[in-house]
């Protein structure tokens, strides 16, 4: 089982540049890609997105940055000088302060012309793709680690639900006696002197059949077993576990509505609480 939460940062060499590749992933119903690339990489964006699709689901943010070097830029001294001469002439005529003028001009982007290629060559793309794949693999490993933590937590809650389920039979015999006494009490209050014992037993069986929770207990146990099996065997099981949790909730709710016993109701409340704790975390399972 894997979580949708993941992170990885990789540095690789593309041509003569150091390139940082950072991937962050969070939970989302579908695959939601956010890709931030330097200009030279944009022609390969479709290829990059195709590689990121291996992460399957979640909000995936990719940030690629280059570490700039002196060789990447060329200083345009003539342009700087021309602009400085023009603006100092204006300052002299108007009496404006020249302080900081040269620094402001030097910070203009077009004074420093980039010598970087407009797009990646085949060899550069191969080097970057290798680094991106490493980042994807590390993100997947991070997700697997986080998924193992979630799985351990789920087992705790599922085990508690199963423990509560196994305690229910201890109170079921008492339910029958309570139902009998209730019916007898109602007949006594109604001043019914003589009772056909066979008819009484038939009515009691009919009444108890409506309160029977055998099927609910059996189905709930099967859902618990399937929940555990799915966690153990399927890496991407978030949606399936969500469906199983819904079915578990249905059986627990039906058991509560039929309980007719304070101790069984107490067990049902505990089961509901543990199931809610599972559902809170299921949205983060891949």
Closest to 23 (Cα-Cα) out of 1, 68, 53, 67: 53
E strand or H helix at 236:
none
What's the mean pLDDT when you consider all of the chain?
87
Q: Kindly give the pairing relationship between strand 31-36 and strand 112-114.
A: unpaired
What distance separates the 2 farthest-apart alpha carbons in the chain? 123
DSSP 44: G
Q: Which pLDDT tens digit goes with each residue over 22-44?
A: 999 999 999 999 999 998 899 99
DSSP-H helix ranges across the chain: 45-52, 77-94, 101-106, 122-167, 169-189, 197-211, 214-233, 238-258, 262-282
pLDDT, one tens digit per residue, over 44-81 is 999 999 999 999 999 999 999 988 655 556 677 787 88
pLDDT tens per residue across span 121-172? 899 999 999 999 999 999 999 999 999 999 999 999 999 999 999 999 998 8
pLDDT at 215 exceeding the cut of 60: yes
25: helix, strand or coil: strand
**Quick one: what percent of the chain has pLDDT higher than 90?**
58
Measured from the Cβ of residue 225, the count of other Cβ atoms closer than 10 Å reads 12
Phi, psi for 101 (deg, rounded to 5): -65, -45
Reported for 267-271, long-range contacts at CB under 8 A and 24+ positions apart, including other chains, are: 267/164, 267/165, 267/167, 267/168, 268/164, 270/160, 270/164, 271/160, 271/161, 271/164, 271/165
Q: Is 39 helix (H, G, I), strand (E, B) or coil?
A: helix
- Whole-angstrom distance between the N-terminal and C-terminal Cα of the chain? 7
Say what the pTM is. 0.74
Specify whether the CB–CB gap between 68 and 38 falls below 8 A: no
Q: 212: pLDDT confidence band, cut at 50, 70 and 90?
A: confident
Q: What are phi and psi of 4, to 5 degrees?
A: -85, -5
Task: Give the count of alpha carbons within 13 A of 172, CB side only.
Answer: 15
pLDDT band at 278 (very low <50, low <70, confident <90, very high): very high
pLDDT of residue 114: 56
pLDDT tens, residue by residue, 163-206: 999 999 998 877 777 766 776 676 666 555 566 667 666 666 66
Strand partners, 10: 21
pLDDT at 105: 80
Beta bridge partners of 19: 12, 66
């Amino acid at each position: 089982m894997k979580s949708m939460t993941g992170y990885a940062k990789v540095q690789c060499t593309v041509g003569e540049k150091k390139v940082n590749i950072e991937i962050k992933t969070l939970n989302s119903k579908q695959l939601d890609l956010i890709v931030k690339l330097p200009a030279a990489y944009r022609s390969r964006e479709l290829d990059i997105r195709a590689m990121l699709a291996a992460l399957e689901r979640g909000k995936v943010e990719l940030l690629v940055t280059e570490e700039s070097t002196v060789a990447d830029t060329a200083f345009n001294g003539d342009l700087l000088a021309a602009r400085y001469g023009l603006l100092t002439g204006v300052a002299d005529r108007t009496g404006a302060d020249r302080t900081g003028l040269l620094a402001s001009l030097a910070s203009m982007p077009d004074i420093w012309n980039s010598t970087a290629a407009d797009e990646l060559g085949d060899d550069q793309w191969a080097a970057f793709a290798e680094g991106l794949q490493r980042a994807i693999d590390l993100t997947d490993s991070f997700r697997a680690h986080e998924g193992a933590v979630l799985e351990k937590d789920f087992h705790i809650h599922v085990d508690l639900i199963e423990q509560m389920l196994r305690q229910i039979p201890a109170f079921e015999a008492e339910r029958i006696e309570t139902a009998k006494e209730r019916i007898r009490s109602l007949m006594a209050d109604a001043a019914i002197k003589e009772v056909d014992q066979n008819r009484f037993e038939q009515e009691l069986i009919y009444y108890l059949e409506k309160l029977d929770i055998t099927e609910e207990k059996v189905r709930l146990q099967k859902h618990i077993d399937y929940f555990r099996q799915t966690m153990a065997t399927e890496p991407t099981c978030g949606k399936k576990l969500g469906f199983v949790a819904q079915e578990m909730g249905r059986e627990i709710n039906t058991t509560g509505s039929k309980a007719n016993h304070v101790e069984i109701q107490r067990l049902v409340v505990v089961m509901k609480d543990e199931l809610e704790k599972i559902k809170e975390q299921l949205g983060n399972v891949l």
